[in-house]
Amino acid sequence: MKKGLLIFLFFCPIYLSWMYLPSPIPISWDEDDIIKIKSLSISQLKPLPVDPSNSFSDNEKAAIFGHMLFFDKRLSKNSQISCASCHQPSRMFTDGKKIEEGLGVGIKNTPTIIGISFSPWFYWNGRKDSQWSQALEPLESNHEHGSNRSLVAQLIFEDNTYSNLYNEIFGNSSKNTEVIFSNIGKALAAYQRKLIPGESKFDKYVNEISSSLNNEDKILSYNEKAGLNLFINKGQCINCHNGPLFTNNSFHNTGLLSIPGQLPSLGRVEGLKLARLDPFNCLGKYSNAKKEDCQELTYAGEGDEFIGAHKTPTLRNISLTSPYMHAGQLESIALVIDHYNIAPEAMIGHNEAKPLNLRPIEKKQLEAFLNTLISPLVTEKKWLLGLPKD
Amino acid sequence: MIKKIIISIFLFSTYASSESIHPVLETVSQNGYIIKIFSEVTPININVIHNWSIDIRDSKDNLIDDLIITVNGGMPLHSHGLPTSPKVVNQSSTGSYKLEGIKFHMAGKWEIVMELKKDNLIDVAKVSFNIR
């Protein structure tokens, strides 16, 4: 009995230290680690690719027009809702709510739109294949702006500033409502392409590694570095959250529960079906792309593995954009990490993720690393504010 | 059902595979065709759609044309397939084929599995490779 107690007293502190205290061993990176770490740096972000489906994607006047529209509440049925109502600049272009709320309550969480112009797919289920076509849907959605394309077109031509800008950018040859509506989307996209994340604490750390290779920097704490190590190795987060925006912009089923009272979301399976039917898609008549430019839509992946799959979100600014997941199911980063640590069976389809078996201290370290990804925008301040009349 | 499983095991145990990070991957199909397959862009960047070329010859170095090729693949360790549905097109009479619309969305070990059909005969080949 006494012997048993002694063994317990000996091993108990060792076990507790193992579970809850950081390892005393310093962290060093091998060549493979350095490659992975550098691949995540914002310095690796390539120039924003041209959107062939939107001839006005990099037109400065279209961006100015889109900026005005983004903050204009008149684009809603009750003149109370603008794009910025849910995509709030002060919240890294999210709304802080579990589920989107405009004229009514929707069914999905509002994702950030910072850096999203790099994605070939939009919405959690990828039902839109361009930023301009995405921008159209909320205008007509009953629980968002609740307006319609005719009212939007009417507003443009009743407002002298808007009609002048519109004619200057798009010409006045077509009075077709769908053409005007699609051009509104193209202007909104031109504006949103300005929203690009800048350097975070993590990126400064990568710069330090690149400059000295001696790991003597003081930028990240031990726990933050340990979290980075978990992110790129044991935690396997980098598999999906890869590249300088920490997303592969692809679709994965990670075994999330549906929100109470709702059926599980079919995810990408439904999204792709809708994208193919969308008259405003890359192959449609309102797109400026040639058929060969529409590779993402032409070769989109399909099959059972996309059942319940949702788009990988960026992790930049993750600590400022709670709650998380496609329906805001998880309120904190700690809960997200717990979810991946367990990797439960999927309600529908199959969960690609496998249990991570992280110890409590490792979960804390991973969270500490994710908190280093606050990336203030490099966008000029004028684009982040509404217009004086708002 | 059992017959199906036995056939599947046979197919997957007899085709050859190669593991390489070289630009040209070479493998031998179940029926002995020599297949060279390579990306038209190097290095292969993740998350970018691109094309590959496929060259198929028999053991006497004759080019094999008029095959109907379907391509699948994925990351067996992660239990998922390709993020896109690539298609083999431009099937000319030169034994050269073009695989369009392939994309890899993660670093790690990938497989490309080719099913080659001609005159109701089905042949299978596979290549494995790493993307960093």
A23 shares contact with chain B (CB less than 8 Å): no
Q: What is the CB neighbour count within 10 angstroms for residue A163?
A: 14
Q: B75 - beta bridge partners?
A: B80
| Distant-in-sequence, close-in-space partners of A246: CB < 8 Å, separation ≥ 6 | A40, A314, A315, A316, A373
A296 in contact with B, Cβ within 8 Å? yes
C-alpha distance from residue A288 to each of A50, A66, A132, A144, A183 (Å) = 12, 18, 11, 27, 11
Nearest to B125 by CA among B61, B30, B9, B55: B30
A261 touches chain B (CB under 8 A): no
CA distance A163 to A81: 21
Exposed/middle/buried for residue A250 (C-beta within 10 Å: 0-12, 13-18, 19+): buried
| Residue A44 near chain B (CB below 8 Å) | no
CB < 8 Å to A239, chain B: 78, 106-108
Question: What is the pLDDT, as a whole number, of residue A11?
Answer: 78
Residue ranges per domain, chain A?
27-45+199-267+307-373, 60-195
DSSP state of A46: P
Contacts of B108 (CB under 8 A, 6+ apart): A239, B75, B77, B78, B130, B131
Helix, strand, or coil (residue A165):
helix
**Domain spans of chain B, in order of start:** 2-131
Determine the pLDDT at residue A261.
80
Look at residues A339, A344, A342, A337 and name the one whose alpha carbon lies nearest to residue A362: A337
Q: Is residue A351 within 8 angstroms of chain B, CB to CB? A: no
Transcribe A307-333 into DSSP letters: TTBEEPPP-TTGGGS-SBSTT--B-SH
Using DSSP, state whether A64 is helix, strand or coil.
Answer: helix
Q: B3-29, pLDDT tens digit by residue?
A: 444 443 333 333 333 333 447 999 999
Q: Which residues pair with B52 in a beta bridge?
A: B39, B99
Query: How far apart are the CA of B33 and the nearest CA of chain A, in angstroms?
Result: 27
Residue B105 has its nearest CB partner, among A248, A300, A350, at A248
Indicate if the pLDDT at residue B93 is higher than 70: no
Q: Which amino acid is at A349?
A: G
The C-alpha atoms of residue B31 and residue B124 are separated, in whole angstroms, by 8
pLDDT score of A119: 98
Cis before A279? omega within 30? no
A97 touches chain B (CB under 8 A): no
CB contact under 8 A, A239 and B81: no
- Residue B5 CB-density burial (10 A; 0-12 exposed, 13-18 middle, 19+ buried): exposed
Neighbours of A286 (CB within 10 A): 21
Length of chain A in terms of residues written: 390
Helix (H) or strand (E) holding B104: none
CATH for A60-195, options being 1.10.760.10, 3.30.530.20, 3.40.50.300, 3.40.50.1100? 1.10.760.10
The ipTM assigned to this model is 0.90
- Cβ <8 Å between B49 and A36: no
The fold of the A27-45+199-267+307-373 domain, in CATH, is Cytochrome Bc1 Complex; Chain D, domain 2 (1.10.760)
Per-residue pLDDT of chain A (390 residues; tens, 9 = 90+): 677 777 777 778 777 777 887 877 888 999 999 999 999 999 999 999 999 999 999 999 999 999 999 999 999 999 999 999 999 999 999 999 999 999 999 989 999 999 999 999 999 999 999 999 999 999 999 999 999 999 999 999 999 999 999 999 999 878 899 999 999 999 999 999 999 999 999 999 999 987 765 655 689 999 999 999 999 999 999 999 999 999 999 999 999 888 778 888 999 999 999 999 999 999 999 999 999 999 999 999 999 999 999 999 999 999 999 999 999 999 999 999 999 999 999 989 989 999 999 999 999 999 999 999 999 999 999 999 887 554
- The four Cα atoms A126, A131, A133, A139 give a dihedral, to 10 degrees, of 100
Closest CA to B38 of B50, B48, B23: B23
B2-131: what fold?
Immunoglobulin-like (2.60.40)
Q: Contact, B15 vs B29, CB < 8 A?
A: yes
Question: Which candidate, B114, B115, B109, places its Cα nearest to that of B128?
Answer: B109
